[in-house]
């Protein structure tokens, strides 16, 4: 363990945590743990909170949807980022 990690500790990366949450949600849904209507609004709120830490976005600029395409479920996240000034 380096001196830097000993002093400041290791914080998990936000992207890694988000990936784990998405994997849990998808696994839960595949097991019949609930309908997509239950978790999509919560997922959208969490995405807005995380993205807002780095970029100023409007809540209307983030859309989350879940579609069935044959044997697959597709989770689609659309984010409209503001233009650089």
Structure tokens at 23: 């994997």
Given a contact cutoff of 8 angstroms between Cβ atoms, the answer to whether 23 and 48 are in contact is: no
Q: Is residue 55 part of a domain?
A: yes
2 domain residue, yes or no: no
Cα-Cα-Cα-Cα dihedral sign, residues 82, 42, 35, 18: positive
Q: How many domains does the chain have?
A: 1
Instruction: Please give the residue range of the domain that contains residue 32.
Output: 11-79
* CATH value at residue 18: 3.30.1070
Evaluate whether residue 6 is within a structural domain. no
Look at residue 14 in the predicted model and tell me its pLDDT: 76
Which DSSP state fits 83? P
Chain segment 17-61, per-residue pLDDT in tens:
788 788 777 776 666 655 545 777 887 788 888 888 888 888 888
Q: Against a cut of 0.75, is the pTM above it?
A: no
Residue 4 falls inside a structural domain: no
Q: Is residue 40 part of a domain?
A: yes
C-alpha distances out from residue 13 to 17, 38, 56, 65, 78, Å: 6, 26, 20, 25, 22
Has residue 35 been placed in a domain? yes
């Amino acid at each position: 363990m380096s001196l830097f990690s000993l002093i400041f500790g290791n914080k998990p990366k936000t992207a890694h945590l988000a990936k784990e949450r998405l994997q849990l949600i998808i696994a839960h849904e595949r097991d019949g743990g609930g309908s997509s209507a239950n978790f999509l609004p919560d997922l959208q709120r969490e995405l807005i909170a995380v993205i807002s830490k780095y970029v100023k976005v409007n809540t209307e600029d983030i859309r989350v949807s879940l579609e069935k395409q044959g044997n697959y479920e597709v989770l689609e996240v659309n984010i409209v980022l503001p233009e650089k000034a």
